[in-house]
Chain A
Amino acid sequence: MVVPKICGIETEYGIVHTGVECPDHALAASLLINAYIATAIRSGNEGPVPGVSWDFEDEMPGNDVRGVCVAHSMAPRVEPHLVNSVLTNGSRYYVDHAHPELSTPECSNALDVVLYDKAAEQIMIRSMAAAADILAPHEELIVYKNNSDGKGHSYGCHENYLMSRNTPFSDIVVHATAHLVTRQIFTGSGKVGVEASGLSAADVPFQITQRADFFEEEVGLETTLRRPIINTRDEPHADMRAYRRLHVITGDANMSEVATFLKVGSTAIVLAMVEDEVLPKQHRFAAPVQAMRQVSYDLSLTKPLEMFDGTTATALEIQWDFLDQARKYANTHGLENVGGEVVTTHVIDRWEQVLTLLETNPTSLADQLDWVAKLRLLQGLADRHGLSLDDSRLRALDIQYHDLRPNKSVAARAGLQTLVSPRSAQAAIANPPRDTRAYFRGECLRRWADNIVSANWDSLVFDLGEGRVRRVPLYEPTKGTAALVEGLLQECESASELLQRLANIG
């Protein structure tokens, strides 16, 4: 049975500190976030909350869904000493692995994920401006929304989807692998050259994704080494008996709103269909890791992938099958638990439009898909100046496509279609989504930050000055919504009254 496809995105951004001798990335990321928080407090903006830090009590990134911890497997470290803050829009802004990272609040649908991803970009832009006020005039902090430095170092843009614990993990593995490998044709942000060992830019001058080069396993716990297509981290941040959280680590960070929308929307439907056991066909690759790269390297979108049963299929054919099943699923099961009828019908229609154009006229997607937009600009620049494939200006353009500074960003100039207005993204910097537990977290932080000592995805810890702290669990991601608690929060004069009333409700 399908459970509501609550979802979100966590993005690790690239960061550059110019004007210093030996830039330290972790320090630069801390500076960036602290500057944002200090400035927002000074200006009285409602964004970040002073003094409320992340609570690591329930962090268990080493838990493996397979029930055993593989001896040589490397679970991610928890880094409580680095900057960690919670914002009133329900998101988490922190330093992770020497990158600034922002996790969106839990969202009920793909359009809200786009909205909060855009709000995150605005937060980065404000952070850079705040840092500029603190740094020496010749220094600058610059944030890039990409996934690779072109020199073999990658950093992720992860998606999270709430799933039922009753669904066998093996079912998720087979269908999610088929989707994650083939959805690259619309999720890719494009990259000049190749970073997989044994290949050079002569072999792969340009590829569809930033990330495909970095996957070496089919299934596993790692996120920083020997990355797997399916990540087995078993940390639901919710009621462990009812839920899993599928932690998807293969995706690119997208500048295009349409790409983010389709990436999250299509994946949510595929996972819902897995839970409802409606997918008739298993698309098993003979070699998933190679298939991942093959799709990323094939700009013609026509090279057949070898399947486990000896047949072949292209990424487009497999995507057409998922889309066809999604249409049927929408008719038979409805989309109430998969982002709602309106948004997810839009996902399905857009998905079909994009697959059609990928097949018939891919260049016409230059205003919708990042890799197509980037490739068009690279070819235009190369033609205009007669550049060879290995010219630095092409690599520079690749990096600068993802530059978030408004006066430098190439993506911002590329004429990409938008799905959310700048004004609503602006509002989403301060306000949480109304239809997930992020509402309770964000609204409590806005009202009673002085009484909250820490927060995380599934709890808030209050200190009412009575000598002990009180933890409010939020194990149900679909509760704590405006529909359920807005009235209660408005009636309470204080955090103390809120806790009293919550205790009475039991």
Chain B
Amino acid sequence: MSEQNEHGVAEQQTHHEEHEHHIVSPMVYLAIVLALFVGTALTVWASYIDLGVWNPVIALAIACTKATLVVLFFMHVKYSTKLTKLTVISGLFTFMALIGMTLSDYISRAWGRW
């Protein structure tokens, strides 16, 4: 049994990463919200132009960018622990697995028999 003094307890907490509580400045928030407005205008404008198969690609790309900005800055993930980042990624991964593998069935149905 190791001798530990009472004050050492907090440092012994193996789950405690010394994580600074980073306060994000309102200037950053302002920049992000402006970027989001620009993105919105862009996506509306792009939908009025016929870009064929690229329309949905561009719309989704803009949406993903906007979502990423919200996640990183409004939701503070950029300044969060590795655990938080891992949690977000695992959620996205499972989401993609659901959509991707279900769609793989639907897409390949049209391929017919072997």
Do the two chains bind?
A: no
Chain A interface (Cβ < 8 Å from any Cβ of B): none
Chain B interface (Cβ < 8 Å from any Cβ of A): none
